[in-house]
Structure 1
Amino acid sequence: MPETTTIVTDRITPLTAAAPASREGHFAWLDLRGIGADALAPIVQAALHHRIDGLLSDDPAVFEGLPPTVRRILVLDEPAVDGFPYDDVDLVVVNDRAHLTSPHVGHTPDRGVHVVVSDAPTLQEACEVVREVPWTLLTFTDPTKIPLEIVIAAAENSGGRTVTTVTDVEDAGIVKLVLEHGSDGLLLAPRSADDVVKVARIVEHEAEKLELCELVVDAIEHIGIGDRACIDTCSLLDKDEGCLVGSFSTGMFLSCSETHPLPYMPTRPFRWNAAAVHSYVLGPENRTRYVSELKAGFPILAVRSDGSVREVRIGRVKIEKRPLLSINATTPDGRSINVITQDDWHVRLLGPGGSVNNVTELRKGDRLLGYVPREARHVGLPITEFCDER
């Protein structure tokens, strides 16, 4: 829950209070200053529709008629005059921390300070402010993210929330991930309603989870030489983490990362020895790609044995000729699916409970973990149509 404060001389002492609460995880604010009248209405409507956390302006008239589901943030260059209307404002952000002592700011529901970080002294100020006030709005003049990392570290366990100004939607995605946690909030000046939709997707915090199922092995066959791919990611993978691959769009197998010890070589905790080059691999937004299409920088889904999912980026795809092994299995609804892997003991598939199964030791009746999409695929996209894969 956000906090309000009482003033002790020129310092701020955080106290728990019943201010409007942000949704858990990351959130977005939109900067409405400078947006023309024609663009303002569709941007505000998009913000309400996509549950944007806050709208920021230096004109309180912008907030008239807005529902309480959106946080209304007023930016003040100077302390307010007597009689300033705060009825439609949830949070006041001042551009000078000294103005927090103004009685016209002190009676507002919630308060914050905007700090422009351009050098070492202003970075120090940001680190102090983030531990003193409930909300710190940050603007960085240089493109490096190191100052933001320092402020995020200073804010740890302080109870204060950071909101960082971003230049565009791409920058928003980067700022969200700084120091893994990222800035709590992102402030974007949208150019159109499309920007609102994009930033809403970036801060969407609901963790994706796939419903995995048990596959029963029917047959294993040595099929000779072919091209298989290793997928090296830019992330370190967990022991029960794999990528979903398969010959058919109707069912995929959960391959195991090379995080488990091998007798003749070190582990490669960033790698999946994925499958033959024709295989489908599951990526973000329920889209598949052929293994042969993957390149450095592409996103792919890392899936754990409990079905939890995260996006990782590919650092390299290595395709080599190797002996191949064809594995057929049956899904819970009776469909027959297939994966073709390298025919070697060190290639592994995950089973129930995260069990590790060397492909060359699989036997008929063994159980593996997989994913059974409901739709067929056309150019990697789900589509409801008849599709017979064999």
Structure 2
Amino acid sequence: MKQFWVDIRPWRKDLATTAIESGANVLVVDDADRVRELGRVMTAAENGDLVPGKDVFEVEIVDKAAEEEALRLSREGYVIVRTGDWTVIPLENLVAQSDRIVAAVTTADEAAVALTVLEHGTAGVLLTTDDPAEIRRVAGVVAGSGAEVPLTVFEVTRIAPVGMGDRVCVDTCSLLVDGEGMLVGNTSSAFLMVHPETLENPYVAPRPFRVNAGAVHAYILLPGGKTAYLTDLSAGDTVLVAEHTGTTREAVVGRVKIERRPLLLVEAKAGSANVSLVLQNAETIRLVREGGTAVSVANLAVGDKVLGSLMEGGRHFGIAVKETIREK
């Protein structure tokens, strides 16, 4: 998750309010008490959550020595870097070696470059501006900076009822749209894209905030390439929502519903790779076709093509690890 920081030095209440309403993660201020009067948001200040010189540092990149100093400090905390030409080599060098670099920017265009340097991008941006509208523009850039996930077209090979079990509905704090989905799988190396409940049907009203994601044991792909068991999700967690094009965004979990329902096993393959997922056996549960259209599991047939993703298998607390792990 990319960090959105806003510099409110000297203090301006209108800028601080706009930053908070736009979802800023951190406000850099002279006095954190002023921010606490407006809302709950992290601050970087002498009396803040992040203390300058201890948790966060500022470095102007003027030469190689300053670059090396920024890298050294990044082992202790976040480093805000400023440079006359941060769009090229200095920022790339820092991003290649540290995930705690925050680029100082003044416009949405600069933020877009910083967040995509070397594809991975900086950990976040610190915006300095006198314009509340620019804060909102940069917030939009940060929100849309999710990395693309590689998608694979799988051919369905088996569909079989497997009896009763507990399934998980992931209700988000966002409105999801047609052609999106969450990537869920029986193993941590292969996932199918499960469509949200955005479509009309004769049985129940749409729930465009919801993905009926699968059985409790299944893995769900999270931001940063991590995974979690569906049963471990809870309110306040962040999940990954992928478009059928591979573009991703993040959504906050508002509620998780676990209920006992009839289940269905779906298996598919792409070349020598296999994927499987246990889903609720109901018309409202849908997978995603290559073009972004949804297909209900009630109408799914062997030979159908659906979207998913292949990842490196083997996880320890949701993080990919290099060890011998076999899942099937």
Report the TM-score when normalising by structure 1. Answer: 0.53
Asked whether the equivalents of residues 171 and 254 of structure 2 are also in contact (C-alpha less than 8 Å), the reply is: yes
Offset of residue 136 of structure 1: 4.2
In the TM superposition, 1:13-32 aligns within 5 A as none
Asked whether the equivalents of residues 288 and 381 of structure 1 are also in contact (C-alpha less than 8 Å), the reply is: yes
Q: 1:345–1:53: structure 2 CA closer, same or farther, 3 Å change rule?
A: same
One of 211, 218, 238 as aligned partner of 2:150 = 211
Residue of structure 1 equivalent to 2:200: 261
Secondary structure of the residue aligned to 1:361 is coil
One of 258, 281, 299 as aligned partner of 2:238 = 299
Secondary structure of the residue aligned to 1:285 is helix
Asked whether the equivalents of residues 144 and 249 of structure 2 are also in contact (C-alpha less than 8 Å), the reply is: no
Greater relative contact order (Cα < 8 A, sep 6+): 2
Q: 1:234–1:69: structure 2 CA closer, same or farther, 3 Å change rule?
A: same
Residue of structure 1 equivalent to 2:177: 238
Task: Answer yes or no: is 1:274 the counterpart of 2:226.
Answer: no
Task: Answer yes or no: is 1:69 the counterpart of 2:85.
Answer: yes
Asked whether the equivalents of residues 242 and 249 of structure 2 are also in contact (C-alpha less than 8 Å), the reply is: yes
Residue of structure 1 equivalent to 2:250: 311
Q: Give, in whole Å, the separation in 2 of the partners of 1:328 and 1:273.
A: 18
Asked whether the equivalents of residues 52 and 70 of structure 1 are also in contact (C-alpha less than 8 Å), the reply is: no
Residue of structure 2 equivalent to 1:335: 273
Offset of residue 276 of structure 1: 0.3
Letter in 1 for 2:282: D
Asked whether the equivalents of residues 48 and 70 of structure 1 are also in contact (C-alpha less than 8 Å), the reply is: no
Deviations 1:260-312 (A, max 9, x none): 11112211000001100000001111110000000011000011100110010
Displaced runs of 4 or more, over 2 A: 28-32, 34-43, 45-55, 67-71, 179-184, 203-207
Aligned residues: 237
Letter in 2 for 1:281: I
Q: 1:251–1:345: structure 2 CA closer, same or farther, 3 Å change rule?
A: same
Asked whether the equivalents of residues 209 and 309 of structure 1 are also in contact (C-alpha less than 8 Å), the reply is: yes
Q: Give, in whole Å, the separation in 1 of the partners of 2:282 and 2:179.
A: 20
Asked whether the equivalents of residues 159 and 264 of structure 2 are also in contact (C-alpha less than 8 Å), the reply is: yes
Asked whether the equivalents of residues 329 and 337 of structure 1 are also in contact (C-alpha less than 8 Å), the reply is: yes
Asked whether the equivalents of residues 29 and 54 of structure 1 are also in contact (C-alpha less than 8 Å), the reply is: no
Structure 2: gaps spanning 5 or more residues: 1-23, 31-44, 60-65, 88-104, 106-127
In the TM superposition, 1:370-389 aligns within 5 A as 370-389=308-327
Secondary structure of the residue aligned to 2:231 is helix
Task: Answer yes or no: is 1:320 the counterpart of 2:259.
Answer: yes
Q: 1:229–1:183: structure 2 CA closer, same or farther, 3 Å change rule?
A: closer
One of 231, 250, 262 as aligned partner of 2:189 = 250
Q: 1:52–1:339: structure 2 CA closer, same or farther, 3 Å change rule?
A: same
Structure 1: gaps spanning 5 or more residues: 1-25, 56-66, 72-90, 92-134, 138-150, 156-160, 163-178, 185-202
Deviations 1:215-260 (A, max 9, x none): 1111111111000011100000011111000101110000000011
Residue of structure 1 equivalent to 2:6: none
In the TM superposition, 1:44-63 aligns within 5 A as 44=59, 45=66, 55=82
Q: Give, in whole Å, the separation in 2 of the partners of 1:40 and 1:345.
A: 51
Residue of structure 2 equivalent to 1:354: 292
Deviations 1:147-178 (A, max 9, x none): xxxx73xx4xxxxx55xxxxxxxxxxxxxxxx
Q: Give, in whole Å, the separation in 1 of the partners of 2:29 and 2:57.
A: 14
Deviations 1:90-123 (A, max 9, x none): x9xxxxxxxxxxxxxxxxxxxxxxxxxxxxxxxx
